[in-house]
Amino acid sequence: MKFGLNFFPSFRASDYSTAEYFAQCLRLAERADQLGFNSVKTVEHYFFDYGGHSPNPVVLLSAIAARTQRIRPITGAVIPAFNNPVKLAAELAALDNISNGRLDVGFGRAFIPKEFEVFGVSMDESRARFEEGIDIVTRLWTHDRVSYEGTFHRFRDVHLMPRPVQKPHPPIWVASVASVESFIWAGRHGYNVMIVPYAGSIEKVRDMVRAYRQAWREAGHPPGKEQVQSSLHCYVAETHEAAVEGARPRVERYIEVFTEAVSSWATHQSGQYANYSKMVEAIARTTIESMLADRQALIGTPDEVIEQLQYHVDVFGDFEPSMQVNFGGISDKEALRTLELFASDVMPKFPLPTARR
Q: What is the CATH number of the domain that holds 33?
A: 3.20.20.30
Q: What string of pLDDT tens digits covers the 357 residues of the chain?
A: 999 999 999 999 999 999 999 999 999 999 999 999 999 999 999 999 999 999 999 999 999 999 999 999 999 999 999 999 999 999 999 999 999 999 999 999 988 889 999 999 999 999 999 999 999 999 999 999 999 999 999 999 999 999 999 999 999 999 987 788 999 999 999 999 999 987 778 888 999 999 999 999 999 999 889 999 999 999 999 999 999 999 999 999 999 998 888 877 655 665 655 556 666 676 777 788 988 998 999 999 999 999 999 999 999 999 999 999 999 999 999 999 999 999 999 999 998 554 333
**CA distance linking residue 286 with residue 128, whole number of Å:** 32
Domain-embedded: residue 355: no
Confidence (pLDDT) at 355: 35
Q: What is the pLDDT of residue 43?
A: 96
pLDDT of amino acid 357: 34
Query: Is residue 354 domain-resident?
Result: no
Q: How many structural domains are present in the chain?
A: 1
Structural domain span for residue 329: 4-349
The phi, psi pair for 32, rounded to 5°, reads -60, -40
Helices and strands of the chain, counted as H and E runs: 12, 11
Alpha-carbon distance 236 to 321, whole Å? 15
**Cβ atoms 247, 262 nearer than 8 A:** no
* In a domain? residue 26: yes
C-alpha distances (whole Å) from 336 to each of 244, 328, 333, 342 are: 17, 15, 5, 10
Task: Quote the CA–CA distance of 311 and 288 in Å, as a whole number.
Answer: 18
Asked if residues 224 and 258 have their Cβ atoms less than 8 Å apart, the reply is no
How high is the pLDDT of residue 354? Answer: 43
- Which has the closest alpha carbon to 203: 294, 78, 334? 294
d(CA 349, CA 38): 16
Cβ contacts of 210 within 8 Å, gap of 6 or more: 357
Give me the pLDDT at residue 269, please: 63
Angle between helices 202-218 and 180-189 in degrees, nearest 10: 30
Q: Which residues pair with 192 in a beta bridge?
A: 173
Q: Is residue 356 part of a domain?
A: no
User: Is 102 domain-assigned?
Assistant: yes
Query: Would you say 161 and 146 are in contact if contact means Cβ atoms under 8 Å apart?
Result: no
